[in-house]
Amino acid sequence: MGIIEAIIIGVQIDRLQKPIVFVSMLACFVAFSAFGVVIVLAGFEVMLNGKGILNAMGLASISIVFFGLAAVCGHFIKKCVQ
């Protein structure tokens, strides 16, 4: 089951095993994904302003942390539905 299917099934609260964990992980999934995207866009902005590729790569490495946290939240969302 994919993350989209798990979220759609999780919205129907009666099928959830742990509703509080589902809701909190869903909020964190959205927040961490948004932070990752914003940091990647900031890296593009840094690169376009001529600050150097090394600074942009540093921001990209920081965004990997946020995408990793979003992946962990997605895993917990799937576990709540199963």
Q: pLDDT tens for residues 19-70?
A: 788 888 889 999 999 999 999 999 888 888 888 888 888 888 999 999 999 9
Query: Three-state DSSP class for 52?
Result: coil
Total number of domains constituting the chain = 1
Half-sphere exposure of 68 (CA within 13 A, CB side): 6
The answer to whether residues 39 and 63 touch, using CB atoms and an 8 Å cutoff, is: yes
Q: What distance lies between CA 77 and its chain's CA centroid?
A: 12
Q: What is the pTM of this model?
A: 0.80
Mean pLDDT of 5-19: 73
Instruction: Flag whether pLDDT at 18 surpasses 70.
Output: yes
Contacts of 66 (CB under 8 A, 6+ apart): 32, 33, 35, 36, 39
> Which domain does 48 fall in, by range?
3-81
Mean pLDDT of 6-31: 80
What pLDDT, on the 0 to 100 scale, is given for residue 1?
Answer: 63
